[in-house]
Chains A and B, each alone.
Chain A
Amino acid sequence: SQTIHQWPATLVQPVGSPLSLECTVEGTSNPNLYWYRQAAGRGLQLLFYSVGIGQISSEVPQNLSASRPQDRQFILSSKKLLLSDSGFYLCAWSASDNYGYTFGSGTRLTVV
Chain B
Amino acid sequence: AQSVTQPDIHITVSEGASLELRCNYSYGATPYLFWYVQSPGQGLQLLLKYFSGDTLVQGIKGFEAEFKRSQSSFNLRKPSVHWSDAAEYFCAVGAFPGGYQKVTFGTGTKLQVIP
Q: Which residues of A contact B (CB under 8 A)?
A: 6, 32, 34, 41-44, 46, 49, 51, 57, 90, 92, 94, 96, 99-106, 108
Contacts and interface: CB of A to CB of B under 8 A. Distances in A.
A41 B96 CA distance: 26
A7 to B, nearest CB: 12
A99 B43 CA distance: 18
B42 to A, nearest CB: 6
19 contacts: A32-B99, A32-B100, A32-B101, A41-B9, A43-B106, A44-B44, A46-B102, A49-B100, A51-B100, A90-B43, A90-B44, A94-B101, A96-B99, A100-B34, A101-B101, A101-B103, A103-B43, A105-B42, A108-B41
Interface in B87-115: 90, 94, 96, 99-108
A94 B102 CA distance: 10
Contacts of B107: 41-43
Contacts, number: 58
Contacts of B36: 103
Contacts of B32: 99
B9 to A, nearest CB: 8
Query: 6 shortest A-B CB distances, which residue pairs?
Result: A103-B43, A43-B107, A44-B105, A51-B99, A103-B44, A32-B100
Nearest to A106: B43
Contact of A99 (B42, B51, B90, B104): B51
Contacts of B90: 43-44
Contacts of B99: 32, 51, 96
Contacts of B44: 44, 90, 92, 101, 103
Contact of B108 (A43, A46, A105): A43
A56 B107 CA distance: 26
Given A103-B43, A103-B44, A108-B41, 15 more contacts: A32-B100, A32-B101, A34-B100, A41-B9, A42-B107, A49-B102, A57-B100, A96-B99, A100-B46, A100-B49, A103-B36, A104-B43, A105-B42, A105-B43, A106-B43
